[in-house]
Amino acid sequence: MSQISCKQQQFNAAMQRYTGLQRYQVVSTLVAVANLTLQCCLLFRVWSYSIGAAWQVAVILVAFPVTDFMNGLVHMYMDNNDRYESLAGPLIANFHLHHKTPQYKKRNLLAVYFIETGSKVWLVGYLAIIYLSAVFFAIPPVVLFVLVYVGILSSVAEVSHYLCHSSTSGFSRLLGNCGILLSKQHHVRHHLQDNTSYAFLNGISDPLLNLIAARIYKGYKQTTDLHYATYTATETTAR
């Protein structure tokens, strides 16, 4: 059996576990609840500080590229991750289907924010560390604002990605063209080319991400993109 055929079997088995075992959907829901709860708690805490309008602008200008880069790194790792037989294998396999599905289900953007945040297991750890650090250590308010905004914008990035795939509104197109969110023209490179354009908040960090990807990965077109080739289900609970 070829390596690709073996990986395809592993992928199909992982997706059977994902769709057949309720615990994976429960985990996604719990992750979403945990992320939103921590985001709200941190936002409530940080707004007790006053840093002024100028610092708020500076904080946002820092938080956007940091968020874009962090989430792009996670995206890069996940797109090239083929550990389908691991405990997280079903979640990895389901994640890979975002390359198979060019058009997502039409949903309210708040629902997109919640549902897609449920895939960000790493974000729970990030937000929890920030919250505990804010409780037990004297973090400078400006730094805390940056860290909190990165945590929230990491969920906004999922909405930005969704809009690239499923929105035809002029407003979302304007946000993309202005570089606030990801533009369709920019994101399409990720799907048409290989091992490139992993960022999905606004794409500003892609030049750096592309350099990193070229050094550590061969690409997904001839690897993980082939693993779902024999999977026939047309949709999953995440998309």
The mean per-residue pLDDT over the stretch 49-60 comes to 94
* 180 token code pair: 């606030």
pLDDT band, residue 1 (cuts 50/70/90): low
Q: How far apart are the C-alpha atoms of 201 and 186, rounded to whole Å? A: 11
What pLDDT is stored for residue 167 in this prediction? 85
- Percent of the chain past pLDDT 70, that is, above it, reads 96
Single-letter amino acid, residue 50: S
Assign 168 a pLDDT band (cuts: 50, 70, 90).
confident
> Is the CB of residue 187 less than 8 Å from the CB of residue 42?
no
pLDDT at 211 over 70: yes
Strands (E), 10-60: none
Q: What is the mean pLDDT of residues 55-67?
A: 97
Alpha-carbon distance 199 to 195, whole Å? Answer: 11
Residue 80, pLDDT above cutoff 60: yes
Averaged pLDDT score across all residues of the chain: 92
For residue 47, which phi and psi values (nearest 5 degrees)?
-75, 0
Q: Give tens-digit pLDDT for 226-237.
A: 999 899 864 444
The pLDDT value recorded for residue 153 is 98
pLDDT (tens digit per residue) in 11-26: 999 999 999 988 888 9
Residue 95 pLDDT class (50, 70, 90 cuts): very high
Instruction: Give pLDDT, residue 101.
Output: 75
pLDDT at residue 150 is higher than 50: yes
Q: How far is 183 from 206, CA to CA, in rounded Å?
A: 13
Rounded distance, CA 103 to CA 91, Å?
A: 20
* Residue 90 contacts residue 14 (beta carbons within 8 Å): yes
Position with higher pLDDT, 102 vs 21? 21
Q: Answer whether 14's CB lies under 8 Å from 231's CB.
A: no
- Distances in Å between the alpha carbon of 130 and those of 63, 101, 103, 119, 195? 14, 34, 35, 19, 31
- Output the pLDDT for position 78: 96
